């Protein structure tokens, strides 16, 4: 602090608080909408204070799903959330495992074509799903993986960012540890599991937070792969419900579902904030 | 960068790197090469045979007014998302950085929109602006605006920009705050002793030192607006009304899946690939420069 400016400080706090309120406003409104009856929400404008129906509507979203005229087969949110959870955890864990292994190979071994492989992994950064939609869909279809968890997860678990992060960390691990392990007669895999992986756990936690959010929030990929509602994720369902053609909107239940869709990743970020910020800042180095 | 001490083993490293490389080849390189091949082919009317047409798919794209329009829309959309998002979050970060107390609490309360999926962000803002129950829609109607973003293209663009920017503010805020906190306080104090006021100090000392962060965030935000906002568009407007929010990524998906124009969609994929490669190269050249400083 250079100058004491109580008025400017008060103004600063005021601005930040105002911004926090604006940022939180749409979610507050979703919760309010989820706490009223359909009749109340259908008023113009809807009520601004919470009602008494939050539990009823959340329970309906979780176990029944919204009933829409013209849209058959409402899927209960619990099924959708389970799919999202499976997808998010499988993607996060899969990315971490294959990236740890490949970073280990790149850092701790000398072998022909090493740099070639490293560049291959690097180039995937330049090929996001969005730019190769149809051919990737075709391959997954040819492999018979449409409407399967494998199809939802496997094509997304290659990770240049995770490989780079782990490689960077491995480079800082002292060489003496390898020498000590060797003298004690440990082979490479023993060293990897018993020494390297435990040392990497903070980076692994950081990577898990980032990739869990990435997996949970996937939209385009499940839209292509999961046409069967049994494999749809909650984020995909929200995108579809919000624009359901000409339906009688059950706004309280739909907004309840939207809150359920954003709650798990938001909780992960807030509860694991330290690792989240670390993961975010370090992967961008 | 090489380790001094390494393990000796002829086959193990290949085994370790194999899963990553296999997925990379099957789901990245093969489809990308297929997109390139597909972009110079055209299928006959029955979809049974395809034949080589050279650059025709590309030429057709650049004569397609919808494609050119989609380019303009993407440029407008990403400019708005990037400039509004960056200015707002810079203002917030500078304010939070000045205050001694509460910075951590503000950080916690501002970072969570990062975790909200673009499609859900679209749903939330779509509801706030929905004619009928939506509060903002009602306020706008009271103010005399003929508000219905499902019918009016400019209003639809406004809503998708709000939703896309809202999601990105926390990310920008975190990076700006980290950048500001890494600026040595002694520099700012020295400027203050020389008689520079807060505004002068910001533009002459803080802003130039922050420019690497700013540049990095510009690239990240452009990439975000180009490629990661598919969910926002799909859940809010479906590219409409009358294609007024049809950004390039949405059009690739729509032409390939809904309109079944494989050649055209593949040509668009190839153009998008060129854009991503360009942006990645810019980003990494900048990072190299930063390292050599």
pLDDT, tens digit (0-9, with 9 covering 90-100), for A131-183 = 888 888 889 999 998 889 998 999 999 888 889 889 988 988 898 888 898 88
With 0-12 / 13-18 / 19 or more C-beta atoms within 10 angstroms meaning exposed / middle / buried, residue A96 is: buried
Give chain B positions within 8 Å (CB) of A106. Answer: 17
φ/ψ of B233, rounded to 5, equals -65, -45
What ipTM describes this predicted complex? Answer: 0.87
- What separation, in Å, do the N-terminal and C-terminal C-alpha atoms of chain A show? 29
Residues 150-179 of B with CB under 8 A from A: 166, 169-171, 174-175, 178
Chain A nearest-CA residue for B286: A285
Residue among A216, A219, A262 whose CB faces B230 most closely? A219
Q: Which residues contact B155 (CB under 8 A, 6 or more apart)?
A: B147, B148, B149
Mean pLDDT of A85-103: 95
Residues 110-129 of B with CB under 8 A from A: 110-120, 122-128
Q: How far is B163 from chain A (nearest CA, A)?
A: 10
* Counts for chain A of helices (H) and strands (E), in that order: 16, 0
Residue among B17, B117, B134 whose CB faces A235 most closely? B117
Query: Where would I find the beta strands (DSSP E) of chain A?
Result: none
Q: How far apart are CA A28 and CA A81, in angstroms?
A: 21
B286 in contact with chain A, both atoms CB, cutoff 8 A: no
Q: Would the pTM count as exceeding 0.80?
A: yes
* Lowest pLDDT segment from A24-28, B26-30, B133-137, B261-265: B261-265
Q: Which residue has the tokens 């990062």?
A: B114
Q: How far is A213 from chain B (nearest CA, A)?
A: 6
Q: What tokens does A109 get?
A: 């071994």
- Give B51's strand partners: B42
φ/ψ of A159, rounded to 5, equals -145, 110
Give the pLDDT confidence score for residue A265 in this predicted structure. 93
Query: Where would I find the beta strands (DSSP E) of B110-184?
Result: none
Give the pLDDT confidence score for residue B47 in this predicted structure. 64
């Amino acid at each position: 602090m250079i100058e004491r400016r109580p008025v400017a400080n008060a103004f600063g706090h005021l601005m930040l608080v105002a911004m926090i309120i604006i940022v939180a406003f749409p979610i507050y409104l979703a919760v309010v909408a989820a706490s009223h009856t359909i009749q109340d929400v259908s008023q113009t404008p809807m009520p601004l204070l919470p009602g008494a129906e939050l539990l009823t509507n959340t329970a309906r979203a979780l176990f029944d799903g919204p009933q829409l005229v013209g849209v058959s087969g409402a899927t209960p949110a619990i099924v959708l959330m389970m799919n999202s959870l499976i997808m998010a955890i499988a993607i996060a864990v899969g990315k971490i495992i294959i990236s740890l292994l490949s970073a280990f190979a790149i850092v701790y071994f000398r072998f022909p074509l090493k740099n070639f492989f490293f560049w291959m992994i690097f180039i995937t950064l330049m090929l996001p799903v969005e730019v190769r939609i149809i051919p990737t869909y075709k391959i997954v279809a040819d492999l018979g993986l449409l409407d399967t968890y494998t199809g939802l997860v496997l094509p997304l678990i290659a990770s240049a960012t995770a490989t780079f992060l782990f490689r960077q960390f491995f480079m800082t691990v002292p060489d003496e540890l390898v020498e000590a392990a060797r003298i004690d007669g440990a082979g490479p895999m023993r060293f990897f599991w018993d020494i390297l992986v435990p040392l990497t756990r903070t980076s692994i936690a950081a990577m898990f937070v980032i990739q869990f959010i990435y997996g949970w929030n996937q939209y385009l990929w499940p839209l292509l792969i999961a046409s069967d509602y049994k494999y749809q994720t909650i984020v995909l369902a929200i995108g579809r419900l919000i624009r359901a053609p000409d339906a009688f909107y059950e706004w309280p239940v739909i907004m309840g579902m939207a809150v359920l869709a954003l709650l798990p990743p938001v909780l992960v970020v807030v509860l694991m904030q330290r690792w989240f910020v670390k993961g975010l800042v370090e992967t961008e180095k | 960068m090489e380790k001094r001490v390494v393990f000796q083993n002829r086959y193990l490293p290949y085994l370790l790197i194999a899963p990553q490389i296999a997925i990379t080849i099957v789901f990245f390189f093969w489809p990308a090469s297929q997109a390139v091949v597909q972009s110079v082919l055209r299928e006959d009317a029955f979809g049974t045979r395809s034949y080589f047409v050279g650059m025709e798919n590309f030429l057709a794209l650049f004569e397609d007014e919808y494609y050119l329009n989609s380019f303009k829309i993407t440029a407008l959309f990403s400019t708005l998302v990037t400039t509004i998002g960056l200015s707002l979050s810079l203002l917030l970060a500078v304010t939070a950085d000045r205050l001694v107390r509460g910075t951590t609490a503000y950080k916690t309360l501002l970072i969570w929109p990062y975790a909200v999926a673009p499609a859900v962000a679209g749903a939330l803002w779509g509801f706030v602006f929905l004619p009928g129950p939506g509060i903002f829609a009602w306020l706008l109607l009271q103010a005399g605006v003929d508000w219905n973003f499902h019918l009016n293209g400019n209003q639809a663009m406004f809503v998708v920009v709000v939703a896309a920017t809202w999601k990105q503010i926390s990310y920008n805020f975190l990076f700006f705050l980290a950048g500001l906190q890494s600026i040595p306080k002694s520099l700012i104090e020295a400027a203050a002793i020389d008689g520079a006021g807060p505004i002068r100090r910001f533009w002459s000392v803080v802003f130039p030192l922050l420019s690497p962060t700013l540049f990095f965030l510009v690239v990240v935000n452009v990439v975000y607006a180009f490629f990661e906002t598919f969910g926002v568009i799909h859940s809010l407007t479906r590219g409409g009304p009358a294609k007024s929010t049809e950004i390039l990524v949405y059009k690739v998906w729509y032409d390939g899946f809904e309109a079944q124009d494989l050649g055209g969609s593949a040509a668009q994929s190839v153009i998008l690939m060129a854009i991503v490669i360009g942006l990645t190269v810019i980003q990494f050249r900048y990072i190299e420069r930063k390292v050599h400083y």
